[in-house]
Amino acid sequence: MLIGWASRDTTPPRPVILRGQFHARISNAVQDPIIVTALALESGGEQCVMATADRVGIPTELLAGVREKIGKLVPDLVPEKLFISATHTHTAPATEDGDWEDMGPEVMKSSEYAAFFVERTAECVAAAWRKRKPGGLAWGCGQAVVGFNRRQVKLGGASQMYGDTSTDDFANIEGYEDHGVDMLFTYDAEQALTGMVVNLACPSQVTESAHFVSADFWHEARCEIRQRHGEEIFVLPQCSAAGDQSPHIMWKKGAEARMLRLKGLCEEGEDVRMAERVEIGQRIAAAVDEVLPLAGKEIHTRIDFRHRVATVELPRRKITAEDVAEAQQEIDGYSAQLEELADRESADPERSRCFGRRRWFRGVIERYELEKRQPTYPMEMHVVRLGDVVFATNSFELYLDYGLRMKTRSPALQTFVVQLTGPGTYLPSGRSVGGGSYGSVPASNHVGPEGGDLLVEETVKGMRELFG
């Protein structure tokens, strides 16, 4: 087994528009660097490069740009054997100019940052590939409380993302949580630890509404792991199926905040969110501490390594004429509000929110027309077998139900589900669609539960083919 690692700083050199909310936020500082990390693997003629970036998602254009460049930088690497996933931080730059109005010359254009990101990421992938050396792999699993189901159900049956759970009509939390942490460790020829993949079911969104550039809790996690195991260790985070998960707790918030103060992570009256990031980093590092010495008892230098890439055609969520009419009504309303706010700057929160919401509802009408010409949604899927473990990718903010079905039916000893290896959009469960609300309404989805069921079947089929 040949193994190579690299990372690159993709922090923007100028203020940017931050992606992840309905209103445009202009960055006013860099809280911590946003990173892309790549792990290159080769054995017996098989190849795989898995990379992760501190981003909201990986638009198709970005992946295509990176693949085009690495085809020139490292011609012996098959570009299609690369996949890039996102940690889903909401404090990283936008990459598409049309998402927002022009913010002026002081703000880096989204397309300008996209070119910067593609260049740095291609350099990272090429460096990891060139650094391949003989080594070994080990794997293990642990637990860390990081993600929580963020959808509450009211007594009448309606669902809501977040919201106040202390009201009299609160009924229950909609779905399950997965606190498992899957880990893959890499070693050099002398069996010294070189890096690790850490996969868990939660987006990196503790300080998601901030106006600074940040990797969110993965920054604290990386720092804590390196402090404990070596500053040169590479840490590649992966977000498992977590479309309905977040690091925000849904109840007992006051009690949790008090415990953070008692631990000395924050002072009375301080915003607890940065302290929450620190605690999450410590929890992830503690899981690594527990599993690493046990996994290290079985380091494999020769394993069954197979990597399959396929395009899966998933049925698009059907947009009805009623959906279009409702969307058009919303569009008209936001257009009228934008006219009323014409004298405000593009970055004004209220104006940019109207612009963002109008774009969101326009997507409903665009998909209504698109599904007439293209009734299926093409999704690139990677399935990678590394000995007893398997990695399976998807491009969505995939609700946890689907990820659990993939894991429970997998033939592998451990299954790493990797979401957001593409542009994103939620893929909700059937019960979430029934409850409604953001994340499960037509404006939130390219693919619905019917496509989610097919995605599970195709993923399980792909995994079983690699395990005979």
What percent of the chain stands above pLDDT 70?
100
> Can you give the pLDDT at residue 98?
87
> Can you give the pLDDT at residue 88?
98
> Can you give the pLDDT at residue 424?
85
What are the pLDDT digits (tens) for 290-329? 999 999 999 999 999 999 999 999 999 999 999 999 999 9
Q: Please name the amino acid found at residue 301.
A: T
Q: What CA–CA distance (Å, rounded) separates 388 from 206?
A: 33
Per-residue pLDDT at 224 exceeds 90: yes
pLDDT grade for 7, boundaries at 50, 70 and 90: very high
What are the pLDDT digits (tens) for 354-391? 999 999 999 999 999 999 999 999 999 999 999 999 99
Q: Count the residues in the chain.
A: 468
What are the pLDDT digits (tens) for 232-249? 999 999 999 999 999 999
What are the pLDDT digits (tens) for 413-437? 999 999 999 998 999 999 999 999 9
> Can you give the pLDDT at residue 468?
84
Dihedral Cα 88, 167, 432, 323, nearest 10 deg:
-100
All structural domains of the chain with their residue ranges: 2-309+378-466, 317-374
How far are the Cα atoms of 332, 347, 373 from residue 327, in angstroms, in the given order? 9, 24, 20
What are the pLDDT digits (tens) for 174-223? 999 999 999 999 999 999 999 999 999 999 999 999 999 999 999 999 99
The model carries a pTM of 0.97
pLDDT grade for 456, boundaries at 50, 70 and 90: very high
By DSSP bridging, strand 29-30 and strand 212-213 are: parallel
**Angle 174-208-27 from CA coordinates, rounded to 5°:** 160
Mean pLDDT of the chain: 97
Q: What are phi and psi of 320, to 5 degrees?
A: -90, 165
Nearest CA among 426, 5, 9 for reference residue 215:
9
What are the pLDDT digits (tens) for 328-346? 999 999 999 999 999 999 9
Sign of the CA dihedral 274, 280, 282, 288? negative
Which pairs from 72-75 meet CB under 8 Å and 24+ separation? 73/122, 73/123, 73/125, 73/126, 74/125, 74/126, 74/129, 74/130
Nearest CA among 242, 185, 269, 285 for reference residue 400:
242
> Can you give the pLDDT at residue 384?
98
User: Residue 285: which H helix or E strand, with range?
Assistant: helix 273-295
Nearest CA among 366, 322, 357 for reference residue 337:
357
Q: What are phi and psi of 262, to 5 degrees?
A: -65, -30
Range 6-15 average pLDDT: 98
Per-residue pLDDT at 163 exceeds 90: no
Q: Report residue 97 as tokens.
A: 């100019």
